[in-house]
Each structure stands twice: as structure tokens, then as C-alpha cells.
Amino acid sequence: MLAHNRIAVLHGVNLDQLGRRDPAIYGDLDYDRLTQRIGEFASELELAAQFFQTNFEGDLVEHLHRVHDIADGIIINPGAWTHYSYAIRDALEIAALPTVEVHLSDIQNREEFRRTSVIGDICLTTVSGQGVDGYRPALEALRDHLATAAN
Ligand code: DQA
């Protein structure tokens, strides 16, 4: 088991509304079932996932200010903040933890404004368009990074 295996799984604006959003784009899991599934992936990979979701940008910023004390890595799906929040980007830089960006939908093949991610270049990698299943390769990438960093 990895010594540093605590993963903060962070969801931003409107992701608590999964289940009410277009299932053709976002799948049919609601937020609770999404986090349950991510928790199962994490357990299979011997990672300890903890979850946080908010619709308030400042709450996510403040969570990122504290996350260093409770996690070794971050999975983040910021929702629409992905495309314009320099505040979230700056807070992620302050957190200074290895981070993987995840999107349920394929942000490169939707509306033009979704093609820009203001956090992509400070993340280890981005997984997009694989629905809930995309959180598994995201967790694997973090686990591999944490394992290498430990040696
Ligand atoms: C999303 C993609 C964003 O463009 C959108 O605003 C979301 C969800 C996704 O998971 O596909 O709220 O991050």
C-alpha cells in the first residue's frame, strides 16, 4: 500500500445536479452514485478518496487552501469554472499537489467555449469524455505519480 494514498476528489459548480442534466452528455448517475463509483475505483487501487462539491467558487478556493493538510493528490472536475476561473487555477497552484483534471463529457468536441481549460497545463493529465469510467484512469495516473514520487 502506498504511504501517500489520500486523494481529494473535487467537483465544482452544477455537478451536484447530475441526474437532472442531459444524460446523453453527462450519463445517468446522480452525484451520490458518481462518488460511490469513484470510491469503488479508489478502493480497487488502494487509494483513499474523500469528496467535496460546491457551487460557490470561493468555497472551492478555500478548500484548496486547506487541502494540502488532508490529501496527497487531487482529482478535479471544476464544471464550467474549468473554462474561465483563474481563481481556481491560482488556488490549485497554491495547493501544489499532483492533480488530474477530469470531465464526464468530451469538452474538445462540444461548444467552442468548452475547448479552453485554464487549469489543463498545471495538471498531470486530463481525462475527458469517458463518463464516470474516466475517473479510473485519472486515479491510476495519480497513483503511478505518487508511487514514483515516493521512490
Ligand atoms: C464538465 C464539462 C463542463 O464544460 C461543464 O460546464 C460541466 C461539466 C464535464 O464533466 O463534462 O459542468 O466539467
Note down pLDDT in tens along the chain; length 151 residues.
788 899 999 999 999 999 999 898 999 999 999 999 999 999 999 999 999 999 999 999 999 999 999 999 999 999 999 999 999 999 999 999 999 999 999 999 999 999 999 999 999 999 999 999 999 999 999 999 999 987 6
Sole residue written with cell 474523500? 50
* DSSP one-letter code for 19: T
In the chain, the domains with their CATH numbers are: 6-150 (3.40.50.9100)
pLDDT of residue 3: 80
**Separation CA 144–CA 151 (nearest Å):** 11
Where residue 129 falls (left for φ over 0; alpha for ψ -120 to 50; beta otherwise) is: left
Q: Counting Cβ atoms within 10 Å, is residue 24 exposed (0-12), middle (13-18) or buried (19+)?
A: exposed
Q: How far is the CA of 104 from the centre of ligand 1 (A)?
A: 7
User: Ligand 1 pocket test: which of 57, 82, 135 has the largest number of ligand atoms within 8 Å of its C-beta?
Assistant: 82
Residue minimizing CA distance to atom 7 of ligand 1: 79
Q: How far is the CA of 81 from the centre of ligand 1 (A)?
A: 9
Count of Cβ atoms closer than 10 Å to residue 116 Cβ: 11
From the CA of 114, give the closest atom in ligand 1. Answer: 4
**Separation CA 78–CA 19 (nearest Å):** 17
**Separation CA 48–CA 14 (nearest Å):** 24
**5 φ, ψ (degrees, to nearest 5):** -125, 15
Q: How far is the CA of 92 from the centre of ligand 1 (A)?
A: 18
pTM (two decimals): 0.96
